[in-house]
Amino acid sequence: MQQILHVVVVGFHHKKGCQVEFSYPKLDGNGEGGLPDEWIHLPSLALPDGAHNTSDGTIYNATYKDLVAKTDDVTRSTVQKSVCVLSRAPLFGALKAKLELITRAYFAERDFRKISQCRTFLLDFVIEP
């Protein structure tokens, strides 16, 4: 049985609040961003209040750098993002080690449209024992 269900990127939109921006595999629920009804609080849990006051952590990872590519709706000088892994089992040690590498690479790009690292993480984690 596959242990990793989804890799999800949550961002903070200055008008809409926390929202799912990407998921792999794609979420197919009825809620915003494809979230199932049972997971409606995932975005606010992924980017809790005060997340902007830290640079990284085990539960979430946030970074503040100038973006290389900004979309039209980015009007502030900083953005908040969180990369989440939804798993069937508490694989904290293995997840943390791999996710730290992936999030550093993802945030170092400074172009959040490049989500290939998230797909790679999931595929690598599923393939590796």
Chain segment 89-125, per-residue pLDDT in tens: 777 787 788 778 777 777 777 777 777 766 676 566 5
Give the structural domain span for 112.
4-127
Q: What is the pLDDT of residues 33-70, one digit of tens each?
A: 889 998 888 888 887 666 555 655 555 334 445 666 66
104-107 LR contacts (CB < 8 Å, sep 24+): 107/61, 107/63, 107/65, 107/81
- Cβ atoms of 98 and 124 within 8 Å: the answer is yes
pLDDT above 50 for 85: yes
pLDDT band, residue 20 (cuts 50/70/90): very high
Q: What percent of the chain has pLDDT over 90?
A: 2
Q: Rounded CA gap, 105 and 40, in Å?
A: 28
Q: Rounded CA gap, 81 and 51, in Å?
A: 10
pTM attached to this predicted model? 0.69
Kindly list the strands in the beta sheet with 4-13, ordered across the sheet, starting from the edge strand earlier in the chain.
17-24, 4-13, 81-87
* Overall domain count for the chain: 1
